DNA sequence: CTTTCGCCCTGAGTGC
DNA sequence: TGCACTCAGGGCGAAA
């Protein structure tokens, strides 16, 4: 399940291949993957993308977007900036393929990119490349959206200094690895929430990029029970939780993300290694790496929570 | 405003 | 061998 580290691995993998490239053609094999594309506002998906240059690869939380130049123009878009916006959902992948490669299983959308500049070809760069959007469960999607100014005038996300963000991503909070993430504001809002801490961690309007895996990992590291009401957690404890969240996200990113099966792969179709480093997620029935107590899995919010019943007690 | 709930979706796995 | 059923869960709109 792609969360912040996995999406960032995809972004950095895609960046050198797509930055500056022009979209020559688009094939849509599964219209449901365009569920969030508003054709009445932006026009037909494929037609709107044709002959547009990709100016950057940007990420905030679990969202990716690619600001686009004017149609058929080499210069950057100014008048009415738009972007190709992507979310991987539960099982989405963006795979780089050479033209002519056999179809990937569950291939939903394919972009044909053409690099018409003088980028050196001897460093693994190719003039033409396919970007395949693969998604088994179709929870992910691609869409075209308008770019609007960020609420705090800071950069939209990782990968570009531009203070613009897709309209449909504006409600997403900055993620813990974002330099402009406001720690103080986060603690303030957390202290006013009467809901369970894990529910708060998963609320992308409060803090983005954290999903079920990294929520369980951060809570285990900070020794907090998932159902502990957010407002009962001390400032000191909340600060530790944010620190632990950052540590686990950074470590997972450094290890290429978490792959259990073929649900998450990087742009070259390779798995990440962080699954070997998990301390809580999926470790029910096995000893807690810290105290040795047998860990458990409990149902919470229609998903699973993994915890050590000794280290993580409800207070 | 906050909070919760149900729906979207496929394929691997399980039990009979 | 086959079929019905369960589970995995991020995001969002609706409802309380």
Distance CA A281, CA A277 (A): 10
- Residue A77: the pLDDT is 47
The tens digit of pLDDT for each residue in A96-132 reads: 999 999 999 999 999 999 987 655 555 556 799 999 9
Cβ atoms A264, A271 nearer than 8 A: yes
pLDDT of residue A287: 94
Which region holds residue A159: left if phi is over 0, alpha if psi is between -120 and 50, else beta?
left
Give tens-digit pLDDT for A157-174: 999 999 999 999 999 999
Chain C positions with any atom < 7 A from a protein CB: 7-12
Helix (H/G/I), strand (E/B), else coil: A247: helix
Annotation marks residue A59 as catalytic = no
**CA A123 / C1′ B8 distance in Å:** 42
Residue A301 has pLDDT above 90, yes or no: no
HSE value, Cβ hemisphere, 13 Å, CA-based, for A254: 8
Q: Is A3 in the active site?
A: yes
Average pLDDT over residues A142-163: 94
Nucleotide closest to A193 measured between CA and C1': B2
Distance between the alpha carbon (CA) of A85 and the C1' atom of C2, Å:
42
Residue A2 bears catalytic tag: yes
Question: What is the pTM assigned to this prediction?
Answer: 0.94
CA(A163)–C1'(B11) in Å?
Answer: 41
Backbone angles phi, psi at A277, to 5 degrees: -100, 0
- Region A179-192: what's the mean pLDDT? 92
Catalytic residue (one of A39, A127, A286, A303) = A303
Tally of residues, chain A: 315
Instruction: Quickly give A256 CA vs B9 C1' distance in Å.
Output: 27
């Amino acid at each position: 399940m792609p969360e912040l580290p996995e999406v960032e691995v995809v972004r950095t993998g895609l960046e050198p291949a797509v930055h500056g490239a022009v979209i020559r053609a688009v094939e849509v094999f599964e219209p449901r993957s365009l569920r969030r594309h508003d054709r009445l506002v932006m026009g037909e998906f494929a037609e709107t993308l044709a002959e547009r240059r990709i100016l950057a690869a940007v990420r905030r939380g679990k969202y990716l977007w690619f600001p686009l130049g004017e149609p058929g123009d080499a210069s950057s878009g100014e008048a009415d900036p738009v972007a190709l916006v992507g979310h991987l959902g539960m099982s989405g992948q963006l795979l780089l393929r050479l033209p002519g490669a056999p179809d990937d299983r569950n291939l939903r959308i394919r972009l044909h990119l053409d690099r018409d500049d003088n980028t050196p070809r001897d460093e693994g760069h190719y003039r033409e490349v396919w970007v395949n959007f693969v998604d088994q469960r179709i929870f992910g999607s691609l869409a075209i959206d308008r770019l609007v100014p960020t609420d705090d005038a800071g950069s939209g996300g990782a990968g570009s200094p531009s203070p613009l963000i897709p309209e449909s991503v504006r409600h997403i909070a900055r993620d813990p690895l974002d330099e402009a993430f406001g720690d103080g504001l986060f603690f303030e809002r957390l202290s006013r929430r009467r809901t369970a801490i894990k529910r708060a961690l998963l609320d992308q309007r409060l803090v983005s990029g954290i999903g079920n895996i990294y929520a369980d990992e951060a809570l285990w590291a900070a020794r907090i029970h998932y159902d502990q009401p957010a407002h009962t957690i001390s400032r000191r404890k909340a600060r530790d939780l944010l620190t632990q969240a950052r540590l686990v996200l950074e470590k997972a990113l450094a290890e290429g993300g978490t792959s259990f099966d073929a649900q998450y792969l990087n742009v070259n179709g390779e798995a990440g290694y962080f699954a070997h480093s998990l301390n809580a997620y999926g470790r029910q029935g096995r000893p807690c790496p810290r105290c040795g107590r047998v860990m458990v899995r409990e149902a919470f919010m229609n998903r699973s929570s993994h915890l050590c019943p000794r280290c993580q007690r409800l207070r």
